[in-house]
Amino acid sequence: MRPEAALHRIETLLKDERAALLGGNLRALPELLAKRDSLLSGLAVGADDRPRLRELRRLAQRNTELAAAARAGIQAAAARVSAIRAAAGPIGSYSATGARQDIGTARPAFERKA
Kindly give, in sequence order, each residue whose CB lies less than 8 Å from that of residue 32, ignoring residues fewer than 6 positions away: 13, 16, 17, 20
CA distances from 59 to 10, 44, 56, 112 (A): 10, 19, 5, 45
Tell me the pLDDT tens digit for each residue of 34-93: 998 888 887 777 777 788 889 999 999 999 999 999 999 999 999 999 988 877 777 788
Number of other residues whose CB lies within 10 A of the CB of residue 62: 14
Rounded distance between C-alpha atoms, residue 20 and residue 33, angstroms: 11
- Record the pTM: 0.68
